[in-house]
Structure 1
Amino acid sequence: MNPPLYDPLSPETDQQLRPNLRRELIAKRQALPDLERRDAELTERLLQVLDALEPETLGAYCATRGEFDPMPAVTQWLAAHPECTLALPRVNEATKEMTFFAWAPGEPLRPGPYGIAEPTGEAVLNPTTLLVPCVGFADVGLRLGYGGGYYDRYLAGREEVYTVGLSYACCELHQLDMQPHDQLMDLVLTEDGLYGLDALSLTLVD
Structure 2
Amino acid sequence: MSSLKEKKQKLRKEYRRRRDRFVEQLDGASRNLSFRRPPSPLARLFKPQQTVAFYRSIGSEAPTERLVEYLTETGVKIAFPRVTDNGAMEFRLVTGPELLECGFRNIPEPDESCPLVDPDLIIAPLVAFDRSLRRLGQGGGYYDRSFAQYPDVPRIGLAWSVQEAGEIPAEPHDLPLQMIVTECEIIE
Name the TM-score, length of structure 1 as normaliser: 0.81
Aligned to 1:51: 43
Question: Secondary structure in 2 aligned to 1:174?
Answer: coil
2:102 to 111, 120, 123: 111
CA-to-aligned-CA distance 1:82-115 (integer Å, 9 cap, x gap): 2x211010002x4221000010234321111211
* Residue 29 of structure 1 pairs with residue 25 of structure 2: no
Count of residues in Structure 1 that have an aligned counterpart in Structure 2? 181
AA matched with 2:36: T
- Write the distance in 2 (CA, Å) between the matches of 1:75 and 1:18: 33
Aligned to 2:118: 126
CA-based RMSD of the aligned residues comes to 1.8
* Residue 41 of structure 1 pairs with residue 54 of structure 2: no
> 1:86-165 counterparts in 2 under 5 A?
86-92=78-84, 94-120=85-111, 121-165=113-157
Q: Deviation of residue 50 (structure 1)? A: 4.4
User: Post-superposition, which runs of at least 4 consecutive aligned residues in structure 1 deviate over 4 A?
Assistant: none
Indicate the percent of aligned positions where both proteins have the same amino acid: 26
1:19 to 9, 25, 28: 9
Q: Deviation of residue 76 (structure 1)? A: 1.3
Give the 3 Å change call, closer, same or farther, for CA 38–104 of structure 1 in structure 2: same
AA matched with 1:176: I
Give the 3 Å change call, closer, same or farther, for CA 18–156 of structure 1 in structure 2: same
**Contact kept in structure 1, 2:35 and 2:66, CA below 8 Å:** no
Q: Deviation of residue 160 (structure 1)? A: 1.8
Q: Which runs of 5+ in 2 are unaligned?
A: none
Aligned to 1:78: 72
**Contact kept in structure 2, 1:39 and 1:68, CA below 8 Å:** no
- Write the distance in 2 (CA, Å) between the matches of 1:127 and 1:67: 21
> 1:189-204 counterparts in 2 under 5 A?
189-195=181-187, 199=188
Give the 3 Å change call, closer, same or farther, for CA 47–35 of structure 1 in structure 2: farther
**Contact kept in structure 2, 1:50 and 1:77, CA below 8 Å:** no
- Write the distance in 1 (CA, Å) between the matches of 2:108 and 2:27: 22
CA-to-aligned-CA distance 1:124-145 (integer Å, 9 cap, x gap): 0111111100100011110000
AA matched with 1:18: K
Aligned to 1:204: none
Between 1 and 2, higher relative CO (CA 8 Å, sep ≥ 6) is seen in 1
Question: Secondary structure in 2 aligned to 1:74?
Answer: helix
- Write the distance in 2 (CA, Å) between the matches of 1:102 and 1:156: 20
Q: Which runs of 5+ in 1 are unaligned?
A: 1-11, 200-206
2:58 to 59, 64, 89: 64
AA matched with 2:14: E
- Write the distance in 1 (CA, Å) between the matches of 2:41 and 2:61: 19
Give the 3 Å change call, closer, same or farther, for CA 39–138 of structure 1 in structure 2: farther
* Residue 178 of structure 1 pairs with residue 170 of structure 2: yes
